[in-house]
Amino acid sequence: EQGATAAASPAEVADQADIIISMIPDDQALEAVAVGPQGIFESAGQETIYIDMSTVSPATSARIGATAEKRGVRYLRAPVSGSTESAIAAALTILVSGPEDAFDQCRGIFEKLGQKVFHVGPGDQARYLKLLVNMMVGITSAMTAEALVFGERGGIDWDLMIDMINNSVVASPLIGFKIQLLKKRDFAPAFTAAQMSKDFDLALDTGRNLDIPMPLTALVRQLYGAMKATGKGELDYFGLLAQMEEMAGIKS
């Protein structure tokens, strides 16, 4: 009804389209779609632009990039930042890296999908940027949860405490965005703890390969692991608050 045409394989898509977009769950899926049997690169031509909007490791993305270069395919890495609601409203932030001429050609597509679009480099810089943003988001949520449990145990009024934090020197757009959900303890998922765990694993694997010390990321990853182990993996990542309350013996 909307004019889409079904294809039997990624290769068939590449045979019929000059610009191809994928958004898939993990490294293995990206390799299967791009370079696997009946993958995009089996039939992509030198005029093809391949845009991948997944969150995957820089190492896997670099391998895809090397194959793309050999085949003359212009490969754009374009992971996104934002919630489900942002995607529905076409208000995502899109981080793009890869050939600048391909980016310029596809800018109109990105502007249809997102509110803010950045070209951040010629290679896999967008992959690193997406992971570091999610690292900071996850670590901020852990810091916030720990502080709120501390204040809760101290007898501070819940809403007053959250409002005070949101009007202090540690206020941030992230806390402001989540403030009403925190007050209501509404952890319906916009981005799950399991998804955050996966992104932390990608960051930690990358850091290990590059000999980058990442102690905070490693510690917070254990807390998200505890959420998964106690049946909270499908809650929003800010559901870490419930996990911290449980660990402190507080029943919300």
Tens-place pLDDT, residues 82-113: 888 889 999 999 999 999 999 999 999 999 99
Pairing mode, strands 19-22 and 49-52: parallel
Q: Do 67 and 165 belong to one domain?
A: no
Q: Is the pLDDT of residue 227 over 70?
A: yes
CATH number at residue 52: 3.40.50.720
Per-residue pLDDT, averaged over 3-21, amounts to: 94
For the stretch 27-74, pLDDT in tens is: 999 999 999 999 999 999 888 999 999 999 999 999 999 999 999 999
Residue 243, domain extent: 128-247
- Tally of structural domains, the chain: 2
Average pLDDT, the chain: 96
Residues 173 and 238 in one domain: yes
Q: What is the structure's pLDDT at 47?
A: 87
End-to-end CA distance of the chain: 47
Q: How confident is the model at residue 1 (pLDDT cuts 50, 70, 90)?
A: confident
Q: 3 lies in a domain?
A: no
pLDDT at 163 over 70: yes
2 inside domain: no
Residue 252 pLDDT more than 80?
A: no
